[in-house]
Amino acid sequence: MSNWPTETKYISHSTARIDAPAKLTGNARYSSDIQAEGWLYGMIYRSKWPSAKIKSVNLDKALQVPGIKAAVVVRDGEFNVRYYGDEIAAVAGVSKQACLDALRLIEVQADVKHEFVVKENDARKDGSPQVWDGAANTVAPHVRENGTVDAAFGECAAVIEGFYTTPVQIHHPMETHGNTVSWTDDGVTAWSSTQGISSVRDGLAGSLQLDHSKVRVITEYMGGGFGAKFGAGAEGVLAAKLSKAAKAPVRLMLTRFDQALAVGNRPSSFQKIKMGALADGTLHAFEGENYGTAGIGAGGDSGGGGGGADIPMPYLYKVPNSRVKQSAVAVNAGSARAFRAPGNPPASFGMESAMDDLAVKLGMDPLELRQKNDPNPVRQREYALGAEKFGWKEKYKKPGSSPGVVKTGIGCASAAWPAGGGSRRTQGEAQINPDGSVEFRLGVQDIGTGTRTVIAVIAAELLGLKPDQITVKVGDTHYPPGPGSGGSTTCASISPTVFDICTKALQQLQTQTGLADARGDNWFAACKKLGVDPLVVHGQWQQGLSSDHAGGVQFAEVEVDTETGLVTVKKVVAVHDCGLIINCVTLESQINGGVIGGIGYALYEERVMDDLSGVVLNPNFETYKMPGIADVPDIEVILVNMPERGVIGIGEPATVPTAGAIANAVANAIGVRVPSLPITPAKVLAALGKVPPPVNS
């Protein structure tokens, strides 16, 4: 397809992250580092009740605390709170300590509702407390049906049934949500920790009833989002209101505790799957029923889409006869938001588990079952490449046949990510100065994926310069507008845009200077001919340089200690395609990150709710466990380069199949399925019949 150059110096090679020096020296200023002149500290007062009507909030005593400059209530009049952690009020003061003192003195009159529900299975029962007054907790299921399912099951040689569950997972970026907001007569400036400067700008303008032109959002550096940081959020609006009241900039970053309660999560899933195949392994019939919770809602502030509890079933395999029923269950807990590949990791875990269970019943190698039923030709290649690198044939043993106390097992699973393409509304500009220096300005943001570096790599390639000769400015709504960083779309949005800017720049340089080719060695001579005025070139996303739909296959090897139940991931081979590779080194980092996130989902992560008090029992890192450096296995990456497809994003597909591959490896090791994530030692021992099942599972 593409007009991308085939002989390259930088594209498809490795350029070290251009903003790394700033991050490595502490010079990079994250949103939480902003020290605007006269800034105040802000903190939020949250509901201690899972369900209550707030009658009144008295801030008088809080305002008398020395150093407190402002206090605001989240909304006027009476209002409802529907989960433990819902926002009620906020204070701003000269120090964190003053704010902590003030929060203790806020007085709230509330009608506390002692009936609430935090667990999906309780919320589905008749007579359950209603999260939303007068509305059932479970809406009518969405039903999709293809073919003739009931008859088809009768034609199958093997049928399995399973109940596969996944927990609510919390994003927990290392930098919590938050902003520094300065509201003056000229308008609002917000230094936001966000994945979408434009969506935060629009959200703040809407909530504060200001013109979009009066709100500027700046995100020079931010500490991770994973889908949870698209909107202004209650915390952004509160910071703005505090700033207006205090007449000073307010830095309001959430605490880690807040982070676990109120700013998003991945919905749970409870998947009842029945699946059948013909004798040769061809999938023939599928029936899936799924429900899960997105908390009190489907992520009203998610901005980036997703947040609902529906998942793509039967995922990426071809099943001619299928019936899928799905519904979301409301509980008194914080809303879901988009989370890296929304819907896909749970769907992959359920379907891939069912695939392996069916392979056992058919007496087939599970890899062969996949190769037989996956319609995608790129993944067919990836199965072959990965299997060879991983040594699948040599390593594969019948489930449960590993000897000894510590058993080894292998598994594989696949990913399909339908997005990853570019946003047509992406714009950008370059300013080419007579001294030959060049600055690219795009209103996107670098969330840690290497966006700045991608811009520098492409510009250097097309202008015949080196990446370090390109100055890249992103993360400011004063720059030409770009999309939010979600859906793995950033790379495919900015790459064609930079291509367009460079093409136009070279054309204009030729017109203005008379030099036939301004690239490379001619660059400085050409720029000098501009005289005194810099050349500013505007460009936008162009068709034909990017596409969408990326996939991948991952293979995992695990050890399971059958006395302690502990699962250790020994090795992961990740084979992925994302069209034209722009920068190998940052691409590999993205895939490592996806795999490691998937390990957390497979083995450790789960939001635990207390049904008696309605609180999140593990709102901090000592109890909400994520993979640490010692948990990370040897990860080998194979990148399938497809320049003919143009640029596609990778962030999301890389995390999709990991949990399914690990779960299958565990089942292969111990000969029984642990059908519930995370695969904790307690669940492994229960599956082995050594202890009773954990109470919460």
Site for other proteins in 597-616 (CB under 8 A): 597
Residue 222 is a binding residue for other proteins (CB under 8 A) = yes
Residue 253 is a binding residue for other proteins (CB under 8 A) = yes
Cβ proximity to other proteins: between 24 and 143 the closer is 24
**Interacting positions 655-674 with other proteins (CB under 8 A):** none
**Interacting positions 124-153 with other proteins (CB under 8 A):** none
Cβ proximity to other proteins: between 16 and 525 the closer is 16
- Reply yes or no: is the peptide bond before residue 678 cis, omega within 30 of 0: yes
Residue from 60, 424, 620, 690 that binds other proteins (CB under 8 A)?
A: 620
- In sign, the C-alpha dihedral spanning 453, 454, 457, 458 is negative
Residue from 376, 586, 618, 676 that binds other proteins (CB under 8 A)?
A: 586
Minimum Å gap between C-beta 224 and other proteins is 4
Q: In angstroms, rounded to a whole number, what is the distance separating the alpha carbons of residues 583 and 552? A: 18
Q: Which amino acid is at 284?
A: H
Minimum Å gap between C-beta 595 and other proteins is 7
Residue 233 is a binding residue for other proteins (CB under 8 A) = no
Residue from 70, 316, 378, 494 that binds other proteins (CB under 8 A)?
A: 378
Q: In angstroms, rounded to a whole number, what is the distance separating the alpha carbons of residues 558 and 517? A: 56
Residue from 256, 318, 398, 466 that binds other proteins (CB under 8 A)?
A: 256
Minimum Å gap between C-beta 158 and other proteins is 34
Helix ranges restricted to H, 190-340: 197-208, 233-246, 256-262
Q: Are strands 535-540 and 321-329 parallel, antiparallel or unpaired?
A: unpaired
Cβ proximity to other proteins: between 186 and 622 the closer is 622
Cβ–Cβ < 8 Å for 446, 452: yes
Cβ proximity to other proteins: between 22 and 278 the closer is 22
Cβ proximity to other proteins: between 3 and 623 the closer is 623
Q: Is 450 helix (H, G, I), strand (E, B) or coil?
A: coil
Q: In angstroms, rounded to a whole number, what is the distance separating the alpha carbons of residues 178 and 665? A: 39
Cβ–Cβ < 8 Å for 292, 270: yes
Residue from 405, 516, 612, 629 that binds other proteins (CB under 8 A)?
A: 629
**Interacting positions 431-470 with other proteins (CB under 8 A):** 447-450
Cβ proximity to other proteins: between 3 and 27 the closer is 27
Q: In angstroms, rounded to a whole number, what is the distance separating the alpha carbons of residues 114 and 49? A: 9
Cβ–Cβ < 8 Å for 18, 211: no
Q: Which amino acid is at 355?
A: M
- Where does this chain touch other proteins (CB under 8 A) — which range of 157-165, 250-258, 354-362, 526-534? 250-258
Cβ–Cβ < 8 Å for 420, 578: yes
Cβ proximity to other proteins: between 19 and 289 the closer is 19
Cβ proximity to other proteins: between 28 and 157 the closer is 28
For 521, residues 6+ apart whose C-beta sits below 8 A from its C-beta are 464
Minimum Å gap between C-beta 23 and other proteins is 3
Cβ–Cβ < 8 Å for 269, 165: yes
Residue from 299, 303, 551, 594 that binds other proteins (CB under 8 A)?
A: 594
Residue 626 is a binding residue for other proteins (CB under 8 A) = yes
Residue 549 is a binding residue for other proteins (CB under 8 A) = no
Residue 221 is a binding residue for other proteins (CB under 8 A) = yes
Q: In angstroms, rounded to a whole number, what is the distance separating the alpha carbons of residues 188 and 218? A: 11
Helix ranges restricted to H, 124-186: 149-154
Helix axes 377-390, 366-373, angle to 10 degrees: 160
Residue 640 is a binding residue for other proteins (CB under 8 A) = yes
Minimum Å gap between C-beta 363 and other proteins is 32
- Where does this chain touch other proteins (CB under 8 A) — which range of 131-139, 159-167, 305-313, 589-597? 589-597
Minimum Å gap between C-beta 684 and other proteins is 23
What does the block give as tokens for 152?
A: 């088809």
Residue from 10, 17, 152, 646 that binds other proteins (CB under 8 A)?
A: 17
Residue with tokens 């907001």: 181
Q: Are strands 215-218 and 187-192 parallel, antiparallel or unpaired?
A: parallel
Cβ proximity to other proteins: between 365 and 559 the closer is 559
Q: Which amino acid is at 388?
A: E
**Interacting positions 79-98 with other proteins (CB under 8 A):** 95-97
Show the site string, 470-509: x = touches other proteins by CB under 8 A, - = not: ----------------------------------------
Residue 99 is a binding residue for other proteins (CB under 8 A) = no
**Interacting positions 20-79 with other proteins (CB under 8 A):** 20-21, 23-30, 32-33, 35, 41
Cβ–Cβ < 8 Å for 293, 176: no
Minimum Å gap between C-beta 274 and other proteins is 35
Which of these, 387, 410, 349, 388, lies nearest to 559 by C-alpha position?
410
Residue from 111, 425, 641, 693 that binds other proteins (CB under 8 A)?
A: 641
CA distances from 20 to 15, 31, 317 (A): 11, 17, 40
- Where does this chain touch other proteins (CB under 8 A) — which range of 168-176, 199-207, 403-411, 436-444? 168-176
Which DSSP helix (H) or strand (E) runs through 325?
strand 321-329
Residue from 381, 504, 519, 529 that binds other proteins (CB under 8 A)?
A: 381
Residue 559 is a binding residue for other proteins (CB under 8 A) = no
CA distances from 499 to 3, 430, 529, 581 (A): 9, 11, 23, 15
Q: In angstroms, rounded to a whole number, what is the distance separating the alpha carbons of residues 191 and 217? A: 6
Number of residues that bind other proteins (CB under 8 A): 75
- Where does this chain touch other proteins (CB under 8 A) — which range of 126-134, 227-235, 555-563, 583-591? 583-591
Cβ–Cβ < 8 Å for 143, 325: yes
Tell me the chain's radius of gyration from C-alpha atoms. Answer: 27
